[in-house]
Amino acid sequence: MDPVLLSPLIALIAGVLILLMPRVLNYVVAFYLIFIGIIGLVPNFQ
């Protein structure tokens, strides 16, 4: 799992979900931020 490859992929999926279902914008943004935060912290714990 390379964060450099994974971040744009997650952003693309989130963008498509927002376009298809604008009402889920808050959830998509929240999950995206949590996911990016976890990816950023994981290397520090290994």
Per-residue pLDDT at 38? 85
> Where do the domains of the chain lie?
3-45
CB contact at 8 A, 7 and 36: yes
Q: What are the structure tokens assigned to 44, written together?
A: 């520090």
Per-residue pLDDT at 22? 84
Per-residue pLDDT at 1? 61
* The overall pTM is greater than 0.75: no
Written as one string, the DSSP assignment of the chain is --HHHHHHHHHHHHHHHHHH-GGGHHHHHHHHHHHHHHHHHGGGG-
pLDDT tens by residue, the chain, 46 residues: 666 777 788 888 888 888 888 888 888 888 888 888 888 888 777 7
